Amino acid sequence: MASETIYSFSAKDIKGQEVSMDDYRGKVLLIVNTASKCGFTPQFEGLQSLHDELGERGFEVLGFPCNQFMNQDPGNDDAISQFCSLNYGVSFPMFAKIEVNGDGTHPLFRFLKREAKGLMGSEKVKWNFTKFLVNREGQVVRRYAPTAKPADIRADIEKLL
């Protein structure tokens, strides 16, 4: 039996439309839980750069706003969308706000956390801008801490492209 991939999941985009992860089949993905009012928020700029520079080679950033860490993304999806677009020129896909920990954890993040555990085997997402790298086959390759800058992940992304 083939191992489970992200392609069995779907999520609502920031406009409320259901999007199947299967739409990204064959692409290398960096899936990130984001926040608009976090010390790491400027990483949107680096994520957008990766998206711009590597997109034509089959790379995509997927942003998932989350308000579970000190209420750092309190706005509604529309406000989050406007903030990302106006302040960081974000053009990569952004999804509706989700939970990444606890009983309400979105099924996609439950899968990501199980496939790529954090420090000392923990599954819990520690903070905003935790990043999950997914290969072209839909398998989770690695988890990166919020402190990992997008530029520092570039070499790992390029290996998968």
Give catalytic residues, as residue numbers: 38
Q: What are the backbone angles phi and psi of residue 78, rounded to the nearest 5°?
A: -65, -45
HSE (side-chain half, CA atoms, 13 Å) at 117: 5
Q: Is-contact 143 130, C-beta < 8 A? A: yes
C-alpha 6/C-alpha 156 separation (Å) is 19
| Tokens standing for residue 42 | 């400027």
C-alpha 89/C-alpha 91 separation (Å) is 6
Q: What is residue 116's DSSP assignment?
A: S
CA 135 to chain centre: 13
Helices (H), 11-149: 43-54, 77-88, 107-115
Question: For residue 66, which of 22, 31, 111 has the smallest C-alpha distance?
Answer: 31
